């Protein structure tokens, strides 16, 4: 029951995240990953999710997050919620990593959950 409501929240959050990418330097790739997570969550909500696409999105987000790790700084995470502008070094990397981590964890969870119920 709580997973259902959490999934509805994630549908909204991923949709808003995809929309918010309009002013990003790379809007297409970021809107695509958030849009894919939105679609996976929506398919789960209507009961039409296959675990394979969910796992694929999770793997892509996980590998992508791993490529950002060398650029992470503690100051980036320290100022991640301070303001919308990224004045501190590493804030953009920390935000990108955090977003990818959320996509990885959520779509991975949906993939595992769906795999267990289907098998």
Looking at residue 106, what is its pLDDT?
Answer: 98
Roughly what angle, to the nearest 10 degrees, separates helices 2-19 and 27-45?
Answer: 160
Looking at residue 43, what is its pLDDT?
Answer: 97
> What is the model's pTM?
0.90
- How many angstroms separate the CA atoms of 61 and 105, rounded? 9
Q: Tell me: the pLDDT tens digits for 10-35? A: 999 999 999 999 888 889 999 999 99
Q: What is the token pair recorded at 79?
A: 């100022």
The secondary structure of residue 37, as a DSSP letter, is H
Q: Tell me: the pLDDT tens digits for 44-76? A: 999 999 999 999 999 999 999 999 998 887 767
Closest to 114 measured CA to CA, from 8, 41, 6, 12: 41
Q: Tell me: the pLDDT tens digits for 98-109? A: 999 999 999 999
Q: What is the token pair recorded at 52?
A: 């394979």
Residues 6+ apart with CB under 8 A from 81: none
């Amino acid at each position: 029951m709580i997973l259902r409501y959490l999934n509805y929240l994630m549908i909204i959050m991923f949709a808003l995240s995809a929309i918010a990418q309009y002013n990003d330097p790379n809007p297409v790739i970021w809107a695509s990953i958030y849009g894919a997570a939105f679609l996976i969550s929506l398919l789960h909500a209507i009961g039409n999710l296959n675990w394979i696409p969910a796992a694929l999105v999770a793997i892509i987000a996980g590998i992508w997050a791993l490529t950002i790790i060398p650029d992470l700084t503690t100051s980036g995470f320290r100022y991640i919620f301070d303001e919308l502008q990224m004045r501190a070094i590493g804030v953009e990397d920390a935000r990108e990593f955090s977003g990818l981590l959320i996509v990885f964890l959520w779509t991975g969870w949906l993939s595992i959950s769906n795999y267990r119920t289907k098998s």
